[in-house]
Amino acid sequence: MTTAAIPIQSQTATTTAVQHAAPEGMWRQVLRSRRVLIGGGILFGILFLCLATLPWTLKSSSTFYYDYQDRSKLYQSSAWDVRSWFGYDQLGRSILARCLLGGIISLAVGAAAATIAVVLGVTVGLLAGFRGGWVDSALMRVVDILYGLPYILLVILFKIAFENPLSRLVQPMWANIIVLFASIGLVSWLTMARVVRGQVLSLRGQPFIEACRALGLKEGRIFLLHILPNLIGPITVYATLTVPSAILQESFLSFLGVGINAPLPTWGSLASDAVQQMSPIKLHWWLLVFPCTLLAVTLLSLNFMGDGLRDVFDPKKEAAKI
Amino acid sequence: MLRLIAFRVAQFPLILAVIYLLTFLLVWVAPGSPFTNERNVDKAVLDSLKRKFHADSAWTFLAYYPKNVLTGDFGPSFVHKEWSVADIIRSALPISVTLGLFAMLIAVPVGVGIGTMAAVNRGGALDWISLIIALVGISVPGFVVAAVLLIFAAETNWFPVGGWGSVKDMILPGLALSLAPMAYIVRLTRVSMLDTLGWDYVRTARAKGLSRAVVIWKHSLRNAFLPTMTYLGPATATTMTGSFVIEKVFHIPGLGQHFVDSVTGRDQPLILGVVMVESALLLVFNLLVDLAYGWLDPRIDITAKAG
Amino acid sequence: MGRVLAIPLVLFGMLLGSVIWSGGGVQKRAEFSFINRGDIYTLDLNQMSYLQDFRLTYGIREGLYSPDAKTLRPIPAGATGYDLSDDKKVWTFHLRKECKWSNGDPVTAKDYAFSWRRMLEDPGEYTYLFFYVKGAEDYSTRIQKYYASEGREGPRPDFANVGIKAADDDTFVVTLNDPVPYLLELVAFPPFYPRNEKSMEPFIEQQSDVQKAIGQVNYRGEYTRPPNVVTNGPYRLTQWDFKRRLVLEKSDNYWDKEHVRTKTVEMVVAENPLSQFLMYESGEVDWQSEVDGDLAAELRAKGRKDLRSSPAFGTAFLTFICTPELPSTVAESVGSKKNPLADVRVRRALTMSIDKQFIVDSITRMGELPARTYLPPDGTLDGFTWIPGPFTPGGAGAAQYTDKQMRDMLASKDGMKGAGAGLPFNVELARKLLAEAGYPNGQGFPNLPILYGTNSETRKKICQVLKNQWKDALNINVSIVGAEGKSFRDKVSDKQYAIAPVAWYGDYPDASTFTDKYLSTSKQNDAAWYNTTFDDLCAKATKEGDAAKRLRLLEQAENLLDTEVPIAPLYHYVNVSLSRDNVHGVDPNPRQVTMFKGVWVER
């Protein structure tokens, strides 16, 4: 693939996307993209590993239990038997077991944030794009203002406001998790809203939509048959890109102490605990290296996947829709 | 042009006022008071403190503080009672701004360079390698990068281990801070460069015999840089208001820590002051970016925008 | 390309501009430079409550008496001596005539009266200590009401009724409600230090008309900052860069300046433990006053000679809520109202099944002693002895333990298990007690939340260990709930928790600084433990003039706490610091008082 060829092909791809009612060819192209394959492959590999080991990491009687505190192994470094592969932490817990369960929770955070981002972002974006006028201005000003507010303030406030009332309905552990998911999701939908709105606006102005209207098609059908399919692309791309950012947000919140409740692990909280225990005297490197590597590899794959998808769906997208 | 600038600047006070009110509402809703410590304070003591600081209710606060904001007086900090919010911001802002600018100065040239080379070498080894390096910024949490750099500084003694006073202190924290924006700039540049390189005028230029380097750097870059330009606005503003993590790890007395500490301490005037500063910076930089947009690409007529 | 290149150039130009704006520049290193426990919270005597603030204040201010640099006992400072009336209620202090303020004004009794009066009118955390003075509590409450109601709930109380009088420039008379044998300790404590009223006048907050009419004066906090701050101690505060450093310089107006050896002292602010250690290692600071657990343990394992530790006057413990029904928010999350912790057998079972030795060996790792009692046996409490616990042969009648015996017992291998004060570590007995209380083998025991403040990594780990220990020993489940700093303190003080790890440090060397916390009337009584026997014992002790008899009463009160266990003592704090051999005068001590007057560095 030479430099000159790709842009032309992608130009055609874009125009194809806009003109066809349902771009099935797009998905085939997705599966051919190397970035998507490699990124997706690694991601699903890790996910599978974490899910497959759940019966052990969640069984409280197993030595692989994520909170099994083995007094004989406090702060021990990596060794060759499986449980010791990633070493142990200060309370004698296997870092491997904690990383495996931590992966589920971290990825769940990402998935939840992406879901909220899609639901909220698409709704707002569609409303703004379709209604236009003052609805559009108002909604976009809201998005701008939310961008300007301090994120930490919003998260802490949200947590404080809702965690207690919620723990009356469900167990405190679940309340903590739900509130964490919700608060990260709440700050992740802004970009999606902007992207969707932009896409809707640009599609509405296209001649073929005018043509549809001239032909007498109802607004509803235009939306379902023509606009929505062209939205799926960008939505997928940004949903995929929301996941890594959400996982990083969670690690930042753990560093601040407002993340997930102990003793549940996430990769971010494992990394943050490790950093706080580092010193040049005794560098417990295994506490940091393993969770961070898993985190970095997963996030890299997600970003690769997102980039690959974006290359396929909208290679010309301007930066404003980061 | 001047009319546009004036129009935009005139909007600033309105937007800032709305942000002020919203932040204020959020802060007052949060339970917890800035005046409680480890020990349980007598209710009388608490009330007296609240009264002294005009903080007994939302209304007394609103009645007293906002009107002074116009003169730049945000009131005293509720937590650091000897310091006014203006004093605190005045001491911290220059440091954060310097650090942020330094980080952007690293991120922009390096990011654009890597992104361009990745685009030119599409699919090749350089593309993959450079992307991986750049993506460290968004795949590894900031506190990990900062902590690793700090240990590195401690072990090798080539760099000071934090603090702020001389140019040498800027290097490691600036580097750590630059990684995230660098990653974004790399990806943006790569995508838009790929696109630009496919345009007809590029092929014409090459056909005319201009060298590859000239075509890439002199002609394509200007167009490819536009999306990065748009990103630079908010990116510079947020980087300048400091990264809490970098500042905490390298113990730099910047504004980022105040962002977080003021919230955990429920220091209402400080929260408002810091938010105002960040919003103002954001607005200013967005305006600058829009102006530069028009200057960079004369085809774009920014005055035509609705504003 | 030219236009694109302009962007980085513009950024570079801005960078140069901001570098010039931020000043910067390298600071000349002080003779003695140290890292304090944390950043200064406030230097206003009214609001001061943190240890690091007190530490700095000892360097810049002085009271009637002051802690001696070596022994920490109060020695005459602002006063040369005192006369005590026969009923031991009237103290007449004779002031030292040479004492001057840093601006040259002489220190007079009026300055003491002014400062003490401010403590009553503008209350802070330690205002309650002034209530030993006749009429002080009444004055303070009434003037609060008067100010709050803008003069309607009058009349204005008269300060002449309070037992604080400047008889003349050099005589200061204090009249108390009851004899207070440790008054000298109190006047050596910063809230009792004098202030120069004239120098604070420029900082009076703008008064509204109402305030002028009722005579209400408030001072802006900035009066404590250089260059306007006026102090009377061995050093003057000459520089304060917010969150960066404070610089003290030897004061020429100090009466004892010949004995002040170090000319400049610098306090560097670095809140990250790693940065603190690196600054010490590189020589940028001479003394790191607090070293945290993990680092201390590693350094000790390496045999570092510059690591110094001393027991501290404080105890870490779990607080249990003792109300018959669970607090509303807890009850909702647990699903039932009945509070198992209201039963003393349950509290004893929980306490006796905690392996505290493991906690100090593996989690806190600073060389602390595991605790069986609430009051720490670190030697600060002169003459205090501990009554043996209920599971010790002989019980309460047997010989009481001195603090040296307590320390030896707690340091010994099985010291937690056998005879001693308070409750032992005994899992079988704990199980029996739990069964007696109605939860055999943990059946039916609700899943209580254990609440911790997320700003403490150590407490987080302790909670995780406790969860497992209680599961293994008693087969009960607890869930760990984290609350962010302020929320945590609010929840505990509002009594909306079930179990929480907390701590208490003594403010002055007397047992009452610990026992007062659990009086039924005390606002610090987070456990909501209301015991009339305890209240009676403490009240009798307040009135008791004979020091020995008073101690016996307080010992019995303390024993009640250790056996009824509204709190489960975990360990006694240890203070660990780092200083090289050439630094003198910074040895750690239980109350963590360091007088800079006695510090000097050999170079």
pLDDT for the residue numbered C231: 93
- The pLDDT tens digits for C117-151 are 999 998 887 888 899 999 999 999 898 888 888 88
Going by pLDDT thresholds of 50, 70 and 90, the confidence category of residue B242 is: low
For chain B, the 3-state helix, strand and coil shares in percent, each to the nearest 5, are 75, 0, 25
- The pLDDT tens digits for B133-168 are 777 777 888 888 888 888 888 888 777 777 777 777
Instruction: Scan for tokens 């204090």, then name that residue.
Output: C174
Cβ atoms of residues B243 and B295 within 8 Å: no
Going by pLDDT thresholds of 50, 70 and 90, the confidence category of residue B299 is: low
Chain mean pLDDT for chain C: 88
Residue A38 CA to residue A34 CA, distance in Å, equals 6
pLDDT, average across residues C573-585: 91
Question: Which of residues 149 through 168 in chain A touch C, CB cutoff 8 A?
Answer: 156, 159-160, 164, 167-168
Is the reported ipTM for this assembly greater than 0.85? no
Contacts of A248 in chain B (CB under 8 A): 138, 141
Contacts of C42 in chain B (CB under 8 A): 80-82
- The pLDDT tens digits for C209-227 are 888 888 888 888 889 998 8
Please give, rounded to a whole number of angstroms, the shortest distance from the CA of B99 to a CA of chain A: 20
pLDDT for the residue numbered A20: 37
Please give, rounded to a whole number of angstroms, the shortest distance from the CA of A42 to a CA of chain C: 33
Contacts of C484 in chain A (CB under 8 A): 156, 159-160, 257-258
Per-residue pLDDT at B226 exceeds 80: no
pLDDT for the residue numbered A7: 31
Q: Is A85 exposed, middle or buried (0-12, 13-18, 19+ CB in 10 A)?
A: middle
Residue B56 CA to residue B58 CA, distance in Å, equals 7
B271 with A161: Cβ contact below 8 A: no
Structure tokens at C543: 């009135």
Structure tokens at A26: 């797009």
C298 with A164: Cβ contact below 8 A: no
Per-residue pLDDT at A6 exceeds 50: no
Q: Per residue, what are the HEC states of A111-143?
A: HHHHHHHHHHHHHHHHHHHHHCHHHHHHHHHHH
Contacts of A3 in chain B (CB under 8 A): 119-120, 122, 194, 197-198
Identify which has the larger pLDDT, C437 or C396.
C437
Per-residue pLDDT at C390 exceeds 60: yes
| Chain A contact probe: residue of C280, C294, C302 with most A CBs at under 10 A | C294
Considering only A123-127, A266-270, C29-33, C207-211, which range has the smallest mean pLDDT? C207-211
| Chain C contact probe: residue of B29, B230, B251 with most C CBs at under 10 A | B251
Going by pLDDT thresholds of 50, 70 and 90, the confidence category of residue B307 is: very low
- The pLDDT tens digits for C7-40 are 778 778 888 777 777 665 567 788 999 998 878 8
Identify which has the larger pLDDT, B69 or C361.
C361
Per-residue pLDDT at A5 exceeds 50: no
Per-residue pLDDT at B304 exceeds 90: no
* Nearest of B265, B167, A127, B120 to residue C42 by alpha carbon: B265
Considering only B55-59, B141-145, B204-208, which range has the smallest mean pLDDT? B55-59
C42 with B37: Cβ contact below 8 A: no
Contacts of C487 in chain A (CB under 8 A): 160
Tell whether A133 is within 8 A of chain C (Cβ): no
Contacts of A8 in chain B (CB under 8 A): 198
Tell whether C124 is within 8 A of chain B (Cβ): yes
Contacts of A191 in chain B (CB under 8 A): none
Per-residue pLDDT at A322 exceeds 70: no
pLDDT, average across residues B279-284: 83
Question: Which of residues 269 through 288 in chain A touch C, CB cutoff 8 A?
Answer: 273, 276-282
pLDDT, average across residues C550-555: 91
Angle between helices C547-564 and C532-543 (to 10 degrees): 160
Please give, rounded to a whole number of angstroms, the shortest distance from the CA of C234 to a CA of chain B: 22
Going by pLDDT thresholds of 50, 70 and 90, the confidence category of residue C272 is: confident
Nearest to B260 among A7, A256, A319 (CB): A256
Tell whether B203 is within 8 A of chain C (Cβ): no
Per-residue pLDDT at B220 exceeds 80: no
Q: Mean pLDDT: which of A245-249, A276-280, A310-314 is highest?
A: A245-249
pLDDT for the residue numbered C596: 92
pLDDT, average across residues A200-209: 77
Per-residue pLDDT at A30 exceeds 60: yes
Question: Which of residues 20 through 39 in chain C touch B, CB cutoff 8 A?
Answer: 21-27
C362 with A74: Cβ contact below 8 A: yes
Contacts of C272 in chain B (CB under 8 A): 162, 248-249, 251
Nearest to B144 among A6, A245, A275 (CB): A275
Going by pLDDT thresholds of 50, 70 and 90, the confidence category of residue A269 is: very high
Residue C305 CA to residue C578 CA, distance in Å, equals 9
Tell whether C526 is within 8 A of chain B (Cβ): yes
* Residue C590 CB neighbours (<10 A): 23
Residue of C nearest to B51 (CA): C148
The architecture of the domain spanning B97-258+279-296 is: Orthogonal Bundle (1.10)
Identify which has the larger pLDDT, C313 or C5.
C313
Per-residue pLDDT at C83 exceeds 90: yes
Backbone phi, psi, residue C479, to 5°: -110, 145
Please give, rounded to a whole number of angstroms, the shortest distance from the CA of C395 to a CA of chain B: 34
Identify which has the larger pLDDT, C399 or A16.
C399
pLDDT for the residue numbered B42: 61
pLDDT for the residue numbered A13: 33
Chain mean pLDDT for chain A: 77
* Nearest of C53, C58, C51, C49 to residue C40 by alpha carbon: C53
Strands C90-95 and C79-84, by their bridges, are antiparallel
Half-sphere exposure for C6 (CA within 13 Å, toward CB)? 8
Going by pLDDT thresholds of 50, 70 and 90, the confidence category of residue B214 is: confident
Tell whether C472 is within 8 A of chain A (Cβ): no
- The pLDDT tens digits for A43-89 are 999 999 888 888 888 887 777 788 888 777 788 777 777 777 888 88
B164 with C244: Cβ contact below 8 A: yes
Please give, rounded to a whole number of angstroms, the shortest distance from the CA of C290 to a CA of chain A: 15
Tell whether C15 is within 8 A of chain A (Cβ): no
pLDDT, average across residues C540-553: 87
Going by pLDDT thresholds of 50, 70 and 90, the confidence category of residue B31 is: low
Q: For chain B, how many residues are written?
A: 307
What separation, in Å, do the N-terminal and C-terminal C-alpha atoms of chain C show? 58
pLDDT for the residue numbered C244: 84
Q: Mean pLDDT: which of A6-10, A304-308, B22-26, B182-186 is highest?
A: B182-186
Structure tokens at C106: 């002489």
* Nearest of C489, C490, C488, C466 to residue C479 by alpha carbon: C466
pLDDT, average across residues C530-556: 90
Percentage, residues of chain C above pLDDT 70: 99
DSSP string, C578-599: EE-TTEES----TT----GGG-
C467 with A263: Cβ contact below 8 A: yes
pLDDT, average across residues C453-472: 90
Alpha helices by DSSP H, C24-133: 51-60, 109-121
Quickly count helices (H) and strands (E) in chain C. Answer: 19, 19
What angle (nearest 5°) sits at the alpha carbon of residue A71, between those of residues A106 and A84? 55
B37 with C141: Cβ contact below 8 A: no
pLDDT for the residue numbered A317: 40
pLDDT for the residue numbered A14: 36
C11 with B108: Cβ contact below 8 A: yes
